[in-house]
Structure 1
Amino acid sequence: MSRAETVPCKKYRRLQMLMFSLLGVSIFLAIALFAQFTTQGASKPTNAAGQTATTAPTQPDYIRNDADDPMAIGDIDAPLVLVEWTDMRCPFCAVYSRDTLPEVVTEYVDSGQVRIEVNDVSFFGEDSTAAAVAARAAGRQGKYAEFLTTVYANAPEDGHPDMPREKLIGFAKSAGVADLDQFESDLDDPTLAEEVAQSTTYAQQLGVNSVPFFVADGTALSGAQPIENFRQFLDSALANTQK
């Protein structure tokens, strides 16, 4: 993934300051929400390839553990799985993708310590669903992560961007999706829309009602936190896996 260059405006800085001022509350709520994860018995969502992966008995249901998962990056044998929930119209998801994710990938994924599994949700209406369907369509050609990076690199500094079909096709082209005709055909595949709906419902059953939202080794983190917070979060989780 490449890191997009951005020039924050004053309005964005005020928004970011507000977000960080609520950090303590966000973490508390995240932990409270995660308490539901181990008690929910919902059926698991499928990934962008339409697969429901077989999960190892020692892993929670929200970890797919599929070596061919197009919605995951990193070594299948990594000691830690970072599970992420995201909505492609979420401005804070875009901030995380641009400002923090590249560092997480460089420091933790490329070194083989962490695998990231992404879950898409549709929290902001039909355009969120359309964008998630498009990402899964790109995933069928091995470009799910690249599509997300492209979407978030082009996101506005605040608000929920519209996602018309023409824009989604443009994102696919920029992301390197090879067969655009197949991509357009897949945009109309009702199976993908059902997968997005299933993923959204499952997230809500787990207690995930805001994004971005992350879980690693049974601990939750909410919001577009800076890399320093992610280092602490992931280092603590990695230390637990070594006990």
Structure 2
Amino acid sequence: MSPKTPKQSRRKAFAGVAIAAAVGLLVIAGVRILEHDRAADSPSTAATADRNPMYAELAKLARRDAKDPLAMGKPDAPVVMVEYSDFQCPFCKVFATKIEPQLVSRYVDAGVLRIEWRSLAIFGPESEDAARAAWAAGQQGRFWEYHSALFDHAPEKKNTGAFTRDRLTELAGAAGIPDLDRFRADLASPAATAAVQADVNEGLSIGVNSTPAFLINGRPILGAQPLEQFQATIEAARKTAQDSE
């Protein structure tokens, strides 16, 4: 039997994470943490829901690390949105290009919201490589620029060659990443694989099995919901945070 290539070993590692996390899904399925509650469109109702102890536990997943290159916004912002996303997901692209910029201008720039990215690379090898490449971009302080470049060039069909490593490197240059040799090395590094695996493990272990998905101070939102849904949940979370001070 021929030895496994490094690529095959990485694929096996990702599969192992998914299998292990599936056990977690069975454990928490009963609490339905990602059930879409349309009552959240009401800020008062959402504020009550934010006091749910389950959401308080999920809120602990926010890292609030000032040195996290895959986050934007103040580490001590009253509201943290953890975003689980895949660069080949069309609904993730809708959120990233249509909704997120409005949240950034209205809430992140005002110091109200912090956004923390998690790569839930679940759509195959090009998703995994894109996630590693995004991590590599972050090592040079260009994650969000590269994030925009990836979504601007996201393919209509998954795993058809849009995110080859050569193409990912081209996009890195377009995103202003200064050291492309370092970028290539970081992309292929065990550290990149470990970081992406950790994000996948975290997401799947709490029941996130589709993208995009969000935790806003622990309150789940599934899918690229309308802007108003995010605004209502953020405002409710801000009010809850202020009331608890």
Fold equivalence (TM over 0.5): yes
| Other-structure match for 2:85 | 86
| Other-structure match for 2:214 | 214
Report if the CA contact (8 A) 2:87-2:150 is conserved. Answer: yes
* 1:95 pairs with 2:64: no
Higher helix share: 2
Larger deviation, residues 135-144 vs 225-234: 225-234
Shift of 1:152: 0.7
Report if the CA contact (8 A) 2:55-2:217 is conserved. Answer: no
Shift of 1:159: 3.5
Shift of 1:65: 1.3
Give the 3-state SS of the residue equivalent to 1:214 in structure 2: strand
Amino acid aligned to 2:119:
D
Residues 104 and 69 of structure 1, relative CA distance in 2, 3 Å threshold: same
Give the 3-state SS of the residue equivalent to 1:232 in structure 2: helix
Shift of 1:160: 2.5
Larger deviation, residues 228-237 vs 140-149: 228-237
Shift of 1:28: 4.4
Supply the distance in 2 between the matched residues of 1:197 and 1:76 (Cα, whole angstroms).
Answer: 23
Report if the CA contact (8 A) 2:213-2:222 is conserved. Answer: yes
Same amino acid, percent of matched pairs: 36
Give the 3-state SS of the residue equivalent to 1:225 in structure 2: coil
Report if the CA contact (8 A) 2:57-2:218 is conserved. Answer: no
| Other-structure match for 2:126 | 127
Supply the distance in 2 between the matched residues of 1:38 and 1:26 (Cα, whole angstroms).
Answer: 16
| Other-structure match for 2:158 | 160
Shift of 1:236: 1.2
Supply the distance in 2 between the matched residues of 1:87 and 1:37 (Cα, whole angstroms).
Answer: 23
Report if the CA contact (8 A) 1:99-1:226 is conserved. Answer: no
Report if the CA contact (8 A) 1:26-1:223 is conserved. Answer: no
| Other-structure match for 1:27 | 36
* 1:224 pairs with 2:233: no
Give the 3-state SS of the residue equivalent to 1:240 in structure 2: helix
Structure number with greater Rg is 2
Greater relative contact order (Cα 8 A, min sep 6): structure 1 or 2?
2
Count residues with an aligned counterpart: 196
Supply the distance in 2 between the matched residues of 1:209 and 1:172 (Cα, whole angstroms).
Answer: 28
Query: Once the two structures are superposed, what CA deviation does each residue of 1:68-92 show, in whole Å capped at 9, x if it has no partner?
Result: 1101001112111111111111111
Supply the distance in 1 between the matched residues of 2:73 and 2:232 (Cα, whole angstroms).
Answer: 20
| Other-structure match for 1:171 | 171
Matches within 5 A, 1:190-205: 190-205=190-205
Supply the distance in 1 between the matched residues of 2:80 and 2:64 (Cα, whole angstroms).
Answer: 9
Amino acid aligned to 2:76:
D
| Other-structure match for 1:49 | none
Q: After TM superposition, which residue ranges in structure 1, 4 or more long, deviate above 3 angstroms? A: 34-40
Supply the distance in 2 between the matched residues of 1:225 and 1:192 (Cα, whole angstroms).
Answer: 30
CA-atom RMSD in angstroms? 2.3
Structure 1, unpaired ranges of 5+ = 1-24, 41-58
| Other-structure match for 2:112 | 113
Report if the CA contact (8 A) 1:90-1:159 is conserved. Answer: no
Give the 3-state SS of the residue equivalent to 1:84 in structure 2: strand
Shift of 1:26: 5.9
Report if the CA contact (8 A) 2:119-2:131 is conserved. Answer: yes
Report if the CA contact (8 A) 1:81-1:216 is conserved. Answer: yes
